[in-house]
Amino acid sequence: MGLTAALAKEDASAVTRALVVRAQNGDAAAFSTLIAAHYELIHRAAWKWSGNASDAEDVAQDVCVKLGRAIAGFDGRSAFSSWVYRITINAVRDMQRQSMRQARHVDAYAEVAPADHPAEQEEAATSAQIWTAVRRLPEKQRDAVLLVYAEELSHAAAAEIMGIAEATVSFHVHQARKTLRELL
């Protein structure tokens, strides 16, 4: 990362910290700005963990409400975006558990848009199979794979979000690869 990028990232972190403090003190405009700045991250993570658009929308809305209730408890030990990821992942898990308790099955299949060419259809189907298999992995392996490959985060960033050591993320990714070879 170049000096300019590092300074921009530091400035963005300072702005986020200031917005968090204002939101914690009841500033609705600051909270709204935080939500707007992080909504895409919330929705994208919800989509990747749940596997369908409808559930992702529901989870994203739920997360925004949860953030409103929980913002006062954010202590700054991790990056705000890591904290938001964690809340989003937990919200998806809560939704999936609730669905299972109500005897409904979670739609774990990625939507595949029809392609004009057979090669594109095959590639889309293969991609859908892979992500469907990823969603069937044990929880920690699935989370590590989705953070590292779907979200394109470093192992260190994934470790911060998951609340585990970086080496443990690497281990989960390694185990997931072995499991996926068997599944596919």
Quote the pLDDT of residue 22.
95
CA distance 132 to 124: 12
Which residues lie below 8 Å from residue 129, measured CB to CB, with a gap of 6+? Answer: 184
Q: pLDDT tens digit string along 163-172?
A: 899 999 999 8
Overall average pLDDT of the 18-40 stretch: 94
Quote the pLDDT of residue 133.
82
| pLDDT top residue among 178 and 107 | 178
Quote the pLDDT of residue 19.
93
Average pLDDT, whole number, for the chain?
A: 81
CA distance 87 to 136: 21
CA distance 179 to 28: 46
Extents of the domains making up the chain: 1-107, 116-184
Which residues lie below 8 Å from residue 156, measured CB to CB, with a gap of 6+? Answer: 166
**Does the pLDDT of residue 34 top 90, yes or no?**
yes
Overall average pLDDT of the 117-131 stretch: 64
Q: pLDDT tens digit string along 84-110?
A: 999 999 999 888 888 776 543 334 334
Band (72; pLDDT cuts 50, 70, 90): very high
Which residues lie below 8 Å from residue 89, measured CB to CB, with a gap of 6+? Answer: 45, 49, 143, 161
CATH C-level class of 1-107: mainly alpha
In this chain, the answer to whether the domains covering 1-107 and 116-184 adopt an identical fold is: no
CATH of span 116-184: 1.10.10.10
This prediction has a pTM of: 0.63
Which of 122, 126, 125, 168 lies closest to 147, judged by CA?
168
